[in-house]
Amino acid sequence: MPDPIKPVDIEATPRSQNRRSLWATSGFALVILIPSLYGFGGKFIEFVQLYRGDVDGVFAISPILNYLLASMGFFCLFCWAVTQGMFQDIERPKRAMLDLQNQLDYNASSQSGVAK
């Protein structure tokens, strides 16, 4: 049983760097999202107009709506995760996980006398 790994003390990223990073990410997101949403939205409206009144139209459009609804759910979850700070200090959980598992195994082995 190796010694439990000492948790790395991560210093918080400087505030100015955080702000720059946020602006850069938002800028890139807008550059990608605006034209792609414009293109997709336009084509989708054309598609709805094409199938309007057609019996098969509902079948043709429903998979897209299903996908959009599912994606919307995940987008909401993603936004919730951002607001909860799930992506701040993004590398920390990997070290904390390993530390805890080592500690659990260490405690179990020291009680039972079994090296894990």
Partner 1 sequence: MSTEAVPQQLPEHKDLVIEQLVIWYFLAALAYLIISMLGGFLMALQLVDHNPLRGIEVLSPGRWRMIHTNAIAYGFLANAFLGALHWVVPRLTLRQVASRALSYFTFAAWQVVVLSTAVGIMLGEAQGLEWGETPTWIDPLAQLGLLLVAINFLTPIVQTRGPMYVTLWYFTAAFIWTFLTYAMGNFVPEYFVSGTSAGAVGGLFIHDLVGLFVTPLGWGLMYFFVPILLQKPIWSHGLSLVGFWGLAFFYPLTGIHHFLYTPIPMFLQHGAVISTIAVEMVVLTVIINFFGTLVGTGQAFMKNLPIRWFYTGMVYYFLTCLQCAMQTTMTFQALIHFSDWVVGHAHLVMFGVFSMWLQGIMTYLFPRLFKHEWYSKTLCEWHYWLSAIGLLVMATDLTLAGVFQGYWWASLQPWEVSTEGSFPFWMVRIYAGLAMFIGQIIFVYNICMTWQLSRRAAVPATIAA
In the complex, the residues that contact partner 1 under the rule CB under 8 A are 2, 5, 47, 59-60, 63-64, 66-67, 70-71, 74, 78, 85-98, 100-101, 103-105, 107-108, 111-116
Residues whose CB is less than 8 angstroms from the CB of residue 99 and which lie 6 or more positions away in sequence, other chains included: 4, 5, 6, 7
| Nearest distance, CB of residue 8 and partner 1, angstroms | 9
| Nearest distance, CB of residue 25 and partner 1, angstroms | 13
| Residue 43 CB burial class (10 angstroms; 0-12, 13-18, ≥19) | exposed
CA atoms within 13 A on the CB side of 70: 6
* Maximum pairwise Cα distance, the chain: 74
| Nearest distance, CB of residue 52 and partner 1, angstroms | 15
Element (H, E) at 44: helix 15-51
d(CA 62, CA 22): 36
Q: Which is nearer to partner 1, 22 or 86 (CB)?
A: 86
| Nearest distance, CB of residue 12 and partner 1, angstroms | 14
Q: Which is nearer to partner 1, 5 or 31 (CB)?
A: 5
Q: Which is nearer to partner 1, 53 or 63 (CB)?
A: 63
